[in-house]
Structure 1
Amino acid sequence: MCRDYLRPALLIFASIAIGVVGWSGHVLLLPVVLGFPLLWSISRTRFVAALVSAGYFLAASSGLPQGVAAFYSSDIWPGLLLWLCASLSFVAVHTVLWTKNSGVRPFRYLLAAVIMAIPPFGITGWAHPVTAAGVLFPGWGWWGLGLLTAGLAGLVTRIWPAVAIALIGLWLWSAASWTEPRLPNGWRGVDLELGASLGREAGLHRQRDLIATFRNAASDGARYVLLPESTLGFWTPTVERLWTSGSRGTGAMVIAGATVLDATGYHNILVALDRNGGSILYRERMPVPGSMWQPWRSWFGESGGARADFFANPVVPIGANRAAPLICYEQLIVWPILQSMLHNPDFILAVGNGWWTRGTSIVAIQRAAATSWAKLFAKPLVIAFNS
């Protein structure tokens, strides 16, 4: 009787450990998450597979309750509710597609992986194992993604020990020769430590301080300066004129986050500004579900919430190059970066406003994911976060 409970308990414990370690925010630990498909495949019942899936996903996203509590200035319960609700799609997909039939199990797992990578389920497709592709196959691009996908399928077959040994060997080789993605020529990413006031305190003094930060980076030789999400606050003609005036004499361009209102809500955007004026460069494809993106409002005739542009503007022109922008939440899911890579951009821009994640590993996970994708496709990477 004890053995009947011991094996499921060990599988669940192992799945939790894999979620915690693999998604700790250290990019070289991402391949640990490849243990999840193995645990899922060796579960003897659908119920145990569901518990293994839940353990992995909840552990991987364990910073969410604390972060949501900080964001809403509330107690832990709203965050816990969102945490549990967000796990439902991941657990449901992996529970429904689990099977005892070893012959079709690889196809079932690959189907689960695809479903969790693209909308609608991909909207909450955090903690996806394919994110580790950049650590195991740096520079291999789509071939590397394909090889890791084949490796995931191999981990749910009877030859999993051989597949695991091969993947561990690749992991060790990559870790021994690891280098961070390089910056594009002339670029500078500036991290800020302005907490919750960024984007909310929009007075003249704050704007002048931010312009001074931009000018300092430009004085060091940067031709393009990336500032975090929400840096400019609301995008208005007054803000544009102020920054246009502040950019004179620098010869540099600033790319910064802002918010623009429309009749039904708002867009989370990136703005490009120089001495000649500014324009909207990018509209976020996938804002944070729940706290930002609230599609149910329109069902009841209400307005508000961030607009999701889904598959719009996967790459944007900047000077003579094209960039793949990722704002905050887009760094945690799969389809935005893969959609951008289909257009072969010259580099990746990753911005965020993570003040509400203080005390969690969420920002570190975002940085690790962006780094892994940049390494996979051998693209330069510029990062700017506010904390």
Structure 2
Amino acid sequence: MRRDYLRAMLLIFASIAIGAVGWSGHVMLLPVAIGFPVVWSISQSRLVAALVSTGYFLAASHGLPQGVAAFYSSDIWPGLLLWLCASISFVIVHAVSWTKKAGARPFCYLLAVVIMALPPFGITGWAHPVTAAGVLFPGWGWWGLGLMTASLAGLVTRMWPAVAIALAGLWLWSAAIWTDPKLPEAWRGVDLELGASLGREAGLQRQRDLIATVRGAAGDNARFVVLPESALGFWTPTVERFWTGALGDGDATVIAGAVVADARGYDNVLVSIDSKSVRILYRERMPVPGSMWQPWRSWFGESAGARADFFANPVVSVGAGRAAPLICYEQLIVWPILQSMLHDPDLVVAVGNGWWTEGTSIVSIQRAATTAWARLFAKPLVTSFNT
């Protein structure tokens, strides 16, 4: 009994270490996350598998409580509650999927992999080990994703040491030849350090400052300039006229985050602005659950917060090409990027407004995950974040 207890504790501590290191925000450490299925598979009971899953998920998302506290300007308790609630779906899926039958275990784990990649459970499907495919199989595309999935299944069999050794070899080779996704020609992503004021300070001077930033970037031979999520604040006719007037004498196209609101809620969007036209380019498929997406509020006749379009607009036309946009939270989960890749876009555009993540690795994790996916499918990547 004591030996079983000690083994369980070691497995739980191992899962915590795997989650913390694999999701520390460094792209080359993402393959550490594939240690989770090994630890999960050698758990001696369903309870231990649940505790292992809890340890991994909470460690991987350990920046959430502090980030939520900063977002709401509150103490740590609301963040801790959201942290625990978010882990429930991951823990339930992996606890239910666990089995003592070695022959059935790969199929059960693959089922968990698929469930956590798609809605509804995929809505909180952070820290998905399949994200490491971009590091282990860069440029392999769907073949690489298939090999990664097969490798995850192999890691829950008795042959896991051989599979782990093979993956370790691929990891070392990838680290030796690694290059980040290239920036598309004529594109510029602008990072800002405006903190919580971005999107909230709606004064004319802020808009002038952003326009000056765009002109500075466009002066470097950029035809497309990307600004972070919520950069323009609420998208109103006044803001639209101001920006179209300011860009009327230039050739650059600005792609910037904004919010379009009505009586029923709001959309978190990307707006495309050039000298000839203005349009809503993209509506976020999956806003942050809880803080932005609050569908339960409509049951009480209140505004439902940000709308989730789930499977809408996976790619958008920009100039002569097509882009796969990802706004903030979409970079942490699996199905938005895979849905976009089904349409074979020319590039990936990832934006975020991470002022509330100061002191955490959340933005670094977003960058790492997006980089990995772009490398897997050999797509150029444009990023723009506010911190």
Give the structure-2-normalised TM-score.
Answer: 0.99
Q: Offset of 1:3 from its aligned partner?
A: 1.6
- Structure-to-structure mapping, 1:325-340, within 5 angstroms: 325-340=325-340
Structure 1: gaps (5+ residues): none
Q: 1:277 and 1:216 mapped to 2: Cα distance?
A: 21
Q: 2:314 and 2:362 mapped to 1: Cα distance?
A: 23
Deviations 1:57-78 (A, max 9, x none): 0000000000000000000000
Name the counterpart of 1:179: 179
Q: 2:347 and 2:254 mapped to 1: Cα distance?
A: 16
Amino acid at match of 2:254: V
Q: Is the 8 A contact 1:241 1:277 kept in 2?
A: no
CA 1:298–1:304 in 2, change beyond 3 Å: closer, same or farther? closer
1:355 corresponds to 2:355: yes
Q: Offset of 1:301 from its aligned partner?
A: 1.9
Q: Is the 8 A contact 2:295 2:304 kept in 1?
A: no
Q: 2:197 and 2:277 mapped to 1: Cα distance?
A: 25
Provide the secondary structure at the position in 2 that maps to 1:324: strand
1:365 corresponds to 2:365: yes
1:311 corresponds to 2:301: no
- Structure-to-structure mapping, 1:99-110, within 5 angstroms: 99-110=99-110
Q: 2:301 and 2:213 mapped to 1: Cα distance?
A: 42
Q: 1:303 and 1:148 mapped to 2: Cα distance?
A: 41
Provide the secondary structure at the position in 1 that maps to 2:269: strand
Q: 1:283 and 1:152 mapped to 2: Cα distance?
A: 33
Provide the secondary structure at the position in 2 that maps to 1:192: coil
Q: Offset of 1:247 from its aligned partner?
A: 1.2
Q: 1:53 and 1:169 mapped to 2: Cα distance?
A: 26
Name the counterpart of 1:120: 120
Identical columns (%) = 80
Structure 2: gaps (5+ residues): none
Runs of 4+ in 1 over 3 A off after TM superposition: none
Deviations 1:222-250 (A, max 9, x none): 00000000000010111111111211332
Q: 1:15 and 1:234 mapped to 2: Cα distance?
A: 42
Name the counterpart of 2:61: 61
Name the counterpart of 2:111: 111
Amino acid at match of 1:108: C
- Structure-to-structure mapping, 1:146-225, within 5 angstroms: 146-225=146-225
Q: Offset of 1:263 from its aligned partner?
A: 2.4
Q: Is the 8 A contact 1:65 1:83 kept in 2?
A: yes
Provide the secondary structure at the position in 1 that maps to 2:279: strand
- Structure-to-structure mapping, 1:1-387, within 5 angstroms: 1-387=1-387
Q: Is the 8 A contact 2:264 2:304 kept in 1?
A: yes
**Aligned-pair RMSD on alpha carbons?**
0.7
Q: Is the 8 A contact 2:132 2:372 kept in 1?
A: yes
Q: 2:351 and 2:265 mapped to 1: Cα distance?
A: 21
Provide the secondary structure at the position in 2 that maps to 1:258: strand
Number of equivalences: 387
